């Protein structure tokens, strides 16, 4: 599934791009993520934990920057991970682009995501909403660090931070509530028509 997200930052585009090229910075900003090892050559081992309602999935895997253009401020990351309990896999290819806008920068993310296992049961709509929330949390933390910090410098705490898993209970409740309301509405219409 292809998921598109974007966010704005009140900082110079080159500064934003440099910040987002540091894996320690991104891991510190990404909810539920932990960078566990720098493998060299733009490859990293890490973990990410995602909670959707009662379902929690913890993936361990490797991410690699496969393309980077500092002039165009574009980078492509490829990641693959396995659920810690062996119950599924996740594969993603994400393209990030930083463009100049009046007063700062716009960061756009385009992610081609394939998930099997427990989280696959939730479908594209819920996964897009969960992704949107995760990017929203990433954007909030990145803005904080970029707008207050030094250009291109990782925050000292970024190396050891492990965020709590993203909780999407409220989102799941809203989706299920809407589903049941639509179902009840259809049943009423069927009864009235019959």
116-147 tens-digit pLDDT: 887 777 777 777 777 778 778 888 888 888 88
pLDDT digits (tens, 9 = 90+) for 59-112: 899 999 999 999 999 999 999 999 888 778 889 899 999 999 999 999 999 988
Q: Per-residue DSSP letters for 76-110?
A: EEEEEEEETTSS-EEEEEEEEEEEEETTEEEEEEE
Secondary-structure class of domain 2-168 per CATH: alpha beta
What does the block give as tokens for 190? 């069927």
In 10-160, where do the E strands start and end?
33-40, 43-52, 55-69, 74-83, 89-101, 104-115
The domain spans of the chain are 2-168
Q: Which residues, in sequence order, are bridge partners of residue 76?
A: 67, 95
pTM comes to 0.70
In the chain, the largest separation of any two C-alpha atoms, in whole Å, equals: 68
CA distance 109 to 148: 23
| C-beta of residue 131 within 8 angstroms of C-beta of residue 122 | no
């Amino acid at each position: 599934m292809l998921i598109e997200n974007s966010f704005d930052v009140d900082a110079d585009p080159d500064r934003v791009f440099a910040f987002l090229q540091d894996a320690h910075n991104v891991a510190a900003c990404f909810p539920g993520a932990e960078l566990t090892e720098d493998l060299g050559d733009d490859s990293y081992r890490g973990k990410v934990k995602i909670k959707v309602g009662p379902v929690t999935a913890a993936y361990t895997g490797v991410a690699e920057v496969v393309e980077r253009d500092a002039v165009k401020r574009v980078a492509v990351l490829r990641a693959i991970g396995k659920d810690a309990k062996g119950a599924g896999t996740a594969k993603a290819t994400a393209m990030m682009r930083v463009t100049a806008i009046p007063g700062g920068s716009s960061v756009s993310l385009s992610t081609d995501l394939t998930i099997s296992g427990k989280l696959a049961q939730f479908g594209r709509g819920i996964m897009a909403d969960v992704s949107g929330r995760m990017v929203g949390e990433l954007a909030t933390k990145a803005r904080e660090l970029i707008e207050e910090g030094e250009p291109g410098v990782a925050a000292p705490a970024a190396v050891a931070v492990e965020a709590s898993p993203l909780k999407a209970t409220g989102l799941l409740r809203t989706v299920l509530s809407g589903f049941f309301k639509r179902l009840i509405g259809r049943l009423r219409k069927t009864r009235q028509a019959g």
